[in-house]
Structure 1
Amino acid sequence: MEKIAVLGAGSWGTALALVLADNGHDVRLWSHRGELAEEINTTRKNSKYLPGISLPEGINGYSNLLEALNDADIIVAAVPAKAIREVLAEAKKVISRPVTVVHVCKGIEPDSLKRISEIISEELPPEVLKSLVVLSGPSHAEEVSLRHPTTVTSSSDDLKAAEYVQELFMNQHFRVYTNPDVIGVEIGGALKNVIALAAGITDGLGYGDNAKAALITRGLAEIARLGSVMGGNPLTFSGLTGIGDLIVTCTSVHSRNWRAGNMLGKGHALEEVLDSMGMVVEGVRTTKAAHQLAQKFQVKMPIAEALYGVLFNDQSPKEAVDSLMGRGRTHEMEDLVNIMENRLQ
Structure 2
Amino acid sequence: MKKIPKIAVFGGGSWATAIVKMLCENLHQVGWYMRNQNSIDYIKENAHNPNYLSSAEFDVSKLYLSSDINELVRYADVLIFAIPSAFVKAELDKITEDFSSKIVFSAIKGIVPETGLIVGEHFNKMHQIPFENIGVITGPCHAEEVAMERLSYLTIACTDVKKARLLSKCLASNYIKTKTSDDIIGSEYAAMLKNIYAIAAGIAHGLGYGDNFQSVLMSNSIREMKRFIKKIHKMKRNINNSAYLGDLLVTGYSVFSRNRMFGNMIGKGYTVKSAQMEMSMIAEGYYATKSAYLLNEKNKAKTPIIDAVYAVLYEHKNPKKIFKKLTELLD
- Count of residue pairs brought into register by the alignment: 327
Structure 1 residue matching 2:111: 3-state secondary structure: coil
Corresponding residue SS for 2:227: helix
Q: Secondary structure at the match of 2:204?
A: helix
Would you say the 8 A contact 2:105–2:135 is kept in 1?
A: yes
Deviations 1:117-140 (A, max 9, x none): 00011232349x981111111111
Pairwise CA RMSD? 2.0
Matched-pair contact (CA < 8 Å) for 2:21–2:56: no
The residue aligned with 1:74 is: 78
CA contact (8 A) 1:6 1:76 kept: yes
CA distance in 2, matches of 1:326, 1:155: 36
Give, in whole Å, the separation in 2 of the partners of 1:292 and 1:97.
Answer: 29
Residue 170 (structure 1) aligned with residue 172 (structure 2): yes
Shift of 1:264: 0.8
Q: Report what 1:252 is aligned to.
A: 254
**Which amino acid in the other structure matches residue 134 of structure 2?**
L
Q: Match of 2:108? A: 105
* TM-score between the two structures when normalised by the length of structure 1: 0.89
Tell me if structure 1 keeps the 8 A contact 2:77–2:103.
Answer: yes
> Structure 1 residues 236 and 10, CA, compared in 2 at 3 Å: closer, same or farther?
farther
The amino acid across from 1:42 in the alignment is E
Structure 1 residue aligned with 2:184, among 182, 185, 188?
A: 182
Q: Percent identity?
A: 31
Match of residue 117 from structure 1: 120
Q: Kindly indicate whether the alpha-carbon contact (under 8 Å) linking 1:82 and 1:109 is maintained by their aligned counterparts in 2.
A: yes
Shift of 1:56: 2.5
Quote the residue 2:316 is aligned against. 314
Query: 1-side partners of 2:43 and 2:151: how far apart?
Result: 25
2-side partners of 1:72 and 1:95: how far apart?
Answer: 12
Structure 2 Cα separation of the partners of residues 86 and 208 of structure 1: 41
Q: Deviations over 1:6-43 (max 9, x none)?
A: 10010000110011011124112111111111111111
Change (3 A) 1:35 1:265: same
1:196 partner letter: A
CA distance in 1, matches of 2:126, 2:28: 27
**Cα displacement (A) at 1:111:** 7.2
| Structure 1 residue 148, shift from structure 2 partner | 1.2
Q: Which amino acid aligns with 2:103?
A: T
Cα distance, 1:312–1:177 mapped onto 2, change above 3 Å: same
Could you tell me how far apart the structure 1 residues matched to 2:46 and 2:209 are? 44
Other structure's SS at 2:9 match: strand
* 1:194 aligns to 2:207 (yes or no): no
Match of 1:175, SS? strand
Question: 1:88: Cα distance to partner?
Answer: 2.3
| 1:262–1:229 CA distance, 2 compared to 1 (3 A) | same
How much has 1:110 moved relative to structure 2? 4.6
Distance 1:299 1:120 in 2: 26
Q: What amino acid does structure 1 have at the position aligned with 2:20?
A: A
Structure 1 SS opposite 2:88? helix
- State the 1:86 CA deviation: 2.6
3-state SS in 2 of match to 1:168: helix
CA distance in 1, matches of 2:138, 2:183: 12
SS at match of 2:75: coil
Change (3 A) 1:169 1:194: same
Q: 1:310–1:317: 8 Å Cα contact kept in structure 2?
A: yes
- On the 8 A contact 1:220/1:237 being kept in 2, the answer is yes
Quick check: 113-122 or 248-257, which moved more? Answer: 113-122
**How big is the shift at 1:96?**
7.0
* Rounded Cα–Cα distance in structure 1 between residues aligned with 2:72 and 2:113: 30
Kindly indicate whether the alpha-carbon contact (under 8 Å) linking 1:85 and 1:123 is maintained by their aligned counterparts in 2.
Answer: no
Give the equivalent residue in structure 1 for 2:37: 34
Corresponding residue for residue 65 of structure 1: 69
Aligned match for 1:265, one of 264, 267, 274:
267
Q: 1:228 maps to what in 2?
A: 230
Would the alpha carbon gap of residues 235 and 64 (structure 1) be closer, same or farther in structure 2, given more than 3 Å must change? same
Q: Which runs of 5+ in 1 are unaligned?
A: 333-345
User: Normalised by the size of structure 2, how large is the TM-score?
Assistant: 0.93
Kindly tell me: are residues 62 and 314 of structure 1, through their superposed partners in 2, closer, same or farther at Cα, counting changes over 3 Å?
same
